[in-house]
Amino acid sequence: MVNGIADTVAAAAVMFAATNVDDAVVLTVLHAARRATGAPKQSAIWVGQYLGVGLMVVVALLAATGFRVVALHWVGLLGLIPLTRGIVMLATATIGALRGDDDDSAPVMATGCWQVTALTFANGGDNIAVYAAAFRIMGPADTTVTVTVFAAGVAVWCLATSLLVARQRLVEVLQRSSRWIIPVVFIALGVYVIGRSGLVHAIG
């Protein structure tokens, strides 16, 4: 039982971290803006993050409930979404690197809680398919543990990026490497969802 909970916690932590690498960049820029201009306030960043991630989880849970009428292994097809997106992003990053293109993102700005919420949801909206597929193959206990880990993950993300923004060199490294990290983790998530669902075995 303990090992089962530990495994669920570990899997949930990896899933949260993998799907929110890009959110770390957004949070870092938000904290940098707060240090420079005073907006958005730290409380707005925290509340906005929780509301944005919470909204994604609610939508994913509703979607997972709808998927109950579908055979479990066919839900694995949802894994094609992050898998395809990761492959496309990796190909784009590779082509850009070969051409010598710089990948400088425009600054992300938000002035209040609702703007941070909208930014968080929009930036992570593509995570919903991953979460929905994962919730679909989980029982109630594992789902509860996963949601709890996600809540803790938001706090860790907010704290870590707040500390990270004080180290400009680390921020620059994160921004440069994110175009490689994000597609790789999306590919890994796609493979995880497809493998966990039993789709390959059902087709074979």
Give the number of C-alpha atoms closer than 13 A to the C-alpha of residue 133, restricted to the C-beta side. 27
**pLDDT tens track for 50-97:** 999 999 999 899 888 876 655 656 667 777 877 887 898 888 888 877
Q: Is 204 domain-assigned?
A: no
Mean pLDDT for 6-33 is 86
Q: Is 127 domain-assigned?
A: yes
Q: What whole-number distance in Å separates Cα of residue 99 and Cα of residue 181?
A: 19
Mean pLDDT for 15-37 is 81
Cβ-contact 162, 43 below 8 angstroms: no
Would you state the pLDDT for residue 176? 64
Q: Is 44 or 31 the better-scoring residue by pLDDT?
A: 44
- Average pLDDT over the chain, rounded to whole? 80
Count the domains in the chain. 1
Would you state the pLDDT for residue 107? 46
Would you state the pLDDT for residue 29? 74
Would you state the pLDDT for residue 156? 96
Mean pLDDT for 15-38 is 81
Q: Is 32 domain-assigned?
A: yes
Residues across the chain: 204
Q: Is 30 domain-assigned?
A: yes
Q: Is 26 or 146 the better-scoring residue by pLDDT?
A: 146
**pLDDT tens track for 150-160:** 999 999 999 99
Confidence of residue 106 (pLDDT cuts 50, 70, 90): very low
Q: Pick from 127, 137, 139: which is nearest to 75 by CA?
A: 137
- Whether the pLDDT of residue 108 is over 50: the answer is no
User: Which residues 6+ apart lie within 8 Å of 200 measured at CB?
Assistant: 76, 194
Supply the DSSP string of 130-158, one letter for each residue.
Answer: HHHHHHHTS-HHHHHHHHHHHHHHHHHHH
Mean pLDDT for 95-104 is 71
Would you state the pLDDT for residue 170? 54
Q: Is 170 domain-assigned?
A: yes
Would you state the pLDDT for residue 75? 64
Would you state the pLDDT for residue 145? 95
Q: Is 45 domain-assigned?
A: yes
Cβ-contact 22, 123 below 8 angstroms: yes
Residue range of the domain that includes 91: 2-199
Cβ-contact 42, 34 below 8 angstroms: yes
